[in-house]
Amino acid sequence: MATGRAHRPATRSRGIPEATVARLPLYLRALTALSERSVPTVSSEELAAAAGVNSAKLRKDFSYLGSYGTRGVGYDVEYLVYQISRELGLTQDWPVVIVGIGNLGAALANYGGFASRGFRVAALIDADPGMAGKPVAGIPVQHTDELEKIIQDDGVSIGVIATPAGAAQQVCDRLVAAGVTSILNFAPTVLNVPEGVDVRKVDLSIELQILAFHEQRKAGEDAAGDAGVVPPVAARKQQHSTGSADQGPDGDVPAVMPA
């Protein structure tokens, strides 16, 4: 169905730009690291460096949350950690179900960043009856048949799909029907969901393709010499900026996890 549609109409007064929301987790991670080293305060410059963005952007982002800094000094680390956590809704417990316990699902289940960020793996679900009962990351895998029951009993509102592409839409439909309203999709397919349900997608190969695009640009630039195939249109290559990014792609949001 339609995929089109824009974004939010800005919920009432609290209008934090989407781009800012996408960076809050980044800041939070950097701040958490500082907190663990017992650093009391940071300047926008330092924090920005740690998060991989520029300081003006960071200050602007924080300005949407409120005035939590002190001129001439910087930001109080603990305080900011709390404010951002609260803004992101991480001060509450979010039960999450992971469907599809293959290598990726297992990697996700083992991901430590979950628990420490307000997320709790409520259940691991797989369609393979042979997996049932088998523990992964200390949690016994349950069969797909249990899906609805688990979601309802635990009040799960966030689901993670790590199944093969072919099963994703079906799993998605069941999750939504059972009450899930936010889905993180790792399957390389476009999911159709009813209005009111959020879907975020993470695709391993898309990122690589984007890298290939830039890589090609670096290498080529003239020695293209692709005279093999038919297609017309001169081989006008070109260079585009990216301007030799040194660090992180500040504008992105993708996500997956570490091993």
Annotated binding site for NAD(+): 100-105
Residue 62 interface partner, choices a copy of itself, DNA, none, CB cut-off 5-8 Å depending on type: DNA
Please report how close the Cβ of residue 50 comes to DNA at its closest, in angstroms: 12
70, 133, 170, 221: which one binds a copy of itself (CB under 8 A): 221
- Residues between 154 and 193 with contacts to a copy of itself, criterion CB under 8 A: 157-158, 160, 162-166, 168, 181-193
Binding mask 207-246 for DNA (x = CB under 7 A): ----------------------------------x-x---
Nearest partner of 121 among 107, 132, 131, judged by Cα: 107
* Residue 223 contact, options DNA, a copy of itself, none, Cβ 5-8 Å cut-off depending on partner type: none
Amino acid 129 reads P
- Cα separations in angstroms, 226 against 194, 209, 217, 243: 45, 19, 14, 26
- Using alpha carbons only, what angle is made at residue 30 by residues 24 and 36, rounded to the nearest 5 degrees? 130
- Minimum Å gap between C-beta 172 and a copy of itself is 10
- Establish if 44 lies at the interface with a copy of itself (CB under 8 A): no
State in angstroms the smallest separation of the CB of 37 from a copy of itself: 15
Gyration radius from the chain CA atoms:
22
Residues 58-117 that bind a copy of itself (CB under 8 A): 66, 79, 82-83, 86-92, 94, 96, 100-108, 110-111, 113-114, 117
Answer for which of 6, 37, 138, 225 binds a copy of itself (CB under 8 A) is 6
**For the sheet containing 158-161, what is the strand order?**
135-136, 139-143, 119-126, 94-99, 158-161, 182-185, 198-201
Report the alpha-carbon distance of residue 13 to residue 20 in Å, rounded: 16
Binding at 73: pick from a copy of itself, DNA, none (beta carbon under 5-8 Å per type): DNA
Q: How far is CA 23 from CA 1, 2, 29, 77, 148, in A?
A: 30, 28, 10, 17, 33
